[in-house]
């Protein structure tokens, strides 16, 4: 299992770079990771990440965008605005979770 | 909102988000020589879906794949033509139906309890033509989709619209069906000709459903 090291912090990742141990995550780490993909994490960006961590702690899987809307109450368009391109993937990565596997 | 992108530490594995080039990678080719490559950006990947069927089971493939493509950062266009127009017609899109007739891949799980193996048997075609069977099959499919947390067709269109998909109705089908523009789902950007669509779909991977 590969390990990423960023600013002196080491964490286990899978072959694609997603964290494999959710307990190695912290909001500080998320902020530093976000800088790598050109995102400045503010409260608006952090809210969906916190929901994803809470939800996945309950269900055991990374929530899909659809679930972020129906369960989390987030606006999909807004999520695309906050995390352009691949929001579900970017958010899962920043939240220290595995890549989402759901189809919808 | 965005800040200047910091440089990646050596050996750092970053998921591929398909964004513009952000890194300059140094590839070690030998003891002393190193080749520096810059990841190139080929322009956004595009997918175009042509939806020509109005059966419930034929509406979902393009909606699901289109949504998945949007999640992967792909530019998505959906063109609704012929019977597929029913998918974006708000008068019909919540009433799409699924029929067993003509579908030899229709199985009933519960039959397995009668005799093991029967759950894999193809349901006799004549059954599909009995009154009420299409309604029953439709309810069954809708229930199965809901169990998988798949949205209904109108909700799915809302989801696609919010995710930035481009939806179009086919001009010819629209005129043939004497449809009203007011009945189109609000996510539909326009009623366009086949030629317009071909132009829009330039460079796209095309999926015909």
pLDDT digits (tens, 9 = 90+) for B75-84: 999 999 999 9
Same domain, B117 and B84: no
Same domain, B166 and B85: yes
Same domain, B156 and B205: yes
Q: CATH number of A26-94: 2.60.120, 3.40.50, 1.10.10, 1.10.3470? A: 1.10.10
Between these two residues, B163 and B35, which has the higher pLDDT value? B163
Region B97-105: mean pLDDT is 91
In the structure encoding, which two tokens stand for residue A31, read together? Answer: 């902020």
Residue B35 has pLDDT above 70, yes or no: no
Number of domains in chain B: 2
Region B88-113: mean pLDDT is 91
Residue B41 has pLDDT above 50, yes or no: no
Q: Which of B1-10, B45-54, B192-201 has the lowest mean pLDDT?
A: B1-10
Interface contact flag, B13 A17, Cβ < 8 Å: yes
Residue B34 has pLDDT above 60, yes or no: no
Q: pLDDT at position B170, please?
A: 95
Q: Which residues of A68-100 are buried (b: 16+ CB within 10 A; e: fewer)?
A: bbeebebebeebbebbbbbbbbbbbbbbbbbeb
Counted residue by residue, chain A has a size of: 104
Region B177-184: mean pLDDT is 93
pTM for the whole structure: 0.78
Q: Does B160 fall in a domain?
A: yes
Q: Does B191 fall in a domain?
A: yes
Residue A8 has pLDDT above 90, yes or no: no
The shortest CB-CB distance from B72 to any of A16, A40, A86 is to A86
The shortest CB-CB distance from B73 to any of A16, A65, A86 is to A86
In the structure encoding, which two tokens stand for residue A62, read together? Answer: 């990374």
Between these two residues, B68 and B38, which has the higher pLDDT value? B68
In the structure encoding, which two tokens stand for residue A71, read together? Answer: 């369960």
Region B71-98: mean pLDDT is 95
In the structure encoding, which two tokens stand for residue A73, read together? Answer: 């109450």
Same domain, B106 and B90: no
Same domain, B88 and B157: yes
Region B129-134: mean pLDDT is 92
Same domain, B127 and B140: yes
Interface contact flag, B15 A99, Cβ < 8 Å: yes
Q: Return the top range by mean pLDDT from B9-13, B107-111, B177-181.
A: B177-181
Which neighbouring-strand residues pair with B107? none
Q: pLDDT at position B128, please?
A: 87
Region A62-91: mean pLDDT is 92
Q: pLDDT at position B21, please?
A: 52
Same domain, B115 and B163: no
Residue B146 has pLDDT above 60, yes or no: yes
Q: What CATH number does the domain containing B61 carry?
A: 3.40.1260.10
Same domain, B72 and B174: yes
Q: pLDDT at position B18, please?
A: 66
Which candidate in A8, A61, A103 is best for mutational testing of the B interface (most B CBs within 10 A)? A103
Round to whole Å and give the CA distance between B45 and B59.
Answer: 23
What's chain A's average pLDDT?
92
Q: Does B10 fall in a domain?
A: no
Q: pLDDT at position B10, please?
A: 86
Counted residue by residue, chain B has a size of: 209
Q: Does B89 fall in a domain?
A: yes
Residue B4 has pLDDT above 70, yes or no: no
Pinpoint the alpha helices (H) of A1-104.
27-36, 43-59, 65-70, 76-82, 87-94
Catalytic residue among A1, A101, A103, A104: A103
Q: Does B26 fall in a domain?
A: no
Residues 6+ apart with CB under 8 A from B9: A4, A5, A6, A7
The shortest CB-CB distance from A40 to any of B3, B22, B163 is to B3
Same domain, B87 and B187: yes
Which domain range does residue B171 map to?
46-94+152-209
Q: Does B104 fall in a domain?
A: yes
- Going from N- to C-terminal start, the domains of chain A cover 26-94
Which candidate in B22, B149, B152 is best for mutational testing of the A interface (most A CBs within 10 A)? B149
Q: pLDDT at position B39, please?
A: 45
Same domain, B157 and B209: yes
Q: pLDDT at position B93, please?
A: 93
Return the number of CB contacts < 8 Å for A and B. Answer: 96
Region A78-100: mean pLDDT is 93
Residue B58 near residue B86, CB atoms below 8 Å: no
Q: Does B180 fall in a domain?
A: yes
Percent of chain B with pLDDT over 90: 60
What's chain B's average pLDDT?
86
Is A6 catalytic? The answer is no
Q: How far is CA B94 from CA B55, B97, B99, in A?
A: 11, 9, 16
- Closest Cα in chain B to A68: B159
ipTM above 0.90, yes or no: no
Same domain, B128 and B157: no
Same domain, B104 and B82: no
Is B186 within 8 Å of chain A by CB? no
Region B91-114: mean pLDDT is 91
Q: Does B15 fall in a domain?
A: no
């Amino acid at each position: 299992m590969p390990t990423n090291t960023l600013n002196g912090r080491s964490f286990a990742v899978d072959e694609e770079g997603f964290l494999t141990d959710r307990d190695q995550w912290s909001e500080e780490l998320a902020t530093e990771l976000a800088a790598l993909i050109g995102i400045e994490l503010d409260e608006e960006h952090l809210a969906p990440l916190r929901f994803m961590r809470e939800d996945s702690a309950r269900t055991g899987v990374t929530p899909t965008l659809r679930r972020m809307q129906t369960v989390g109450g987030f606006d999909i368009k807004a999520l695309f605005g906050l995390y352009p391109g691949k929001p579900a993937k970017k958010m899962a990565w920043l939240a220290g979770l595995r890549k989402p596997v759901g189809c919808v | 909102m965005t800040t200047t992108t910091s440089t990646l530490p050596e050996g750092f594995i970053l998921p591929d988000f398909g964004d513009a080039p952000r890194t300059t990678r140094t590839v070690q080719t030998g003891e002393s020589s190193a080749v520096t490559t810059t990841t190139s950006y080929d322009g956004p990947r595009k997918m175009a879906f042509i939806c020509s069927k109005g059966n419930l089971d034929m509406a979902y493939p393009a909606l699901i794949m289109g949504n998945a493509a949007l999640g992967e950062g792909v530019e998505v266009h959906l063109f609704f033509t012929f019977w597929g127009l029913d998918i974006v017609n708000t008068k019909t899109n919540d009433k799409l139906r699924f029929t067993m007739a003509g579908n030899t891949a229709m199985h009933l799980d519960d039959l397995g309890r009668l005799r093991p193996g029967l759950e894999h048997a193809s349901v006799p075609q004549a059954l599909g033509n009995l009154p009420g069977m299409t309604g029953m099959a439709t309810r069954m499919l809708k229930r199965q989709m809901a169990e998988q947390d798949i949205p209904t067709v109108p909700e799915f269109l809302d989801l696609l619209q919010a995710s930035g998909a481009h939806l179009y109705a086919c001009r010819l089908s629209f005129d043939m069906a004497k449809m009203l523009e007011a009945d189109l789902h609000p996510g539909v950007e326009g009623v366009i000709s086949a030629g317009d669509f071909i132009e829009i779909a330039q460079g796209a991977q095309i999926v015909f459903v």
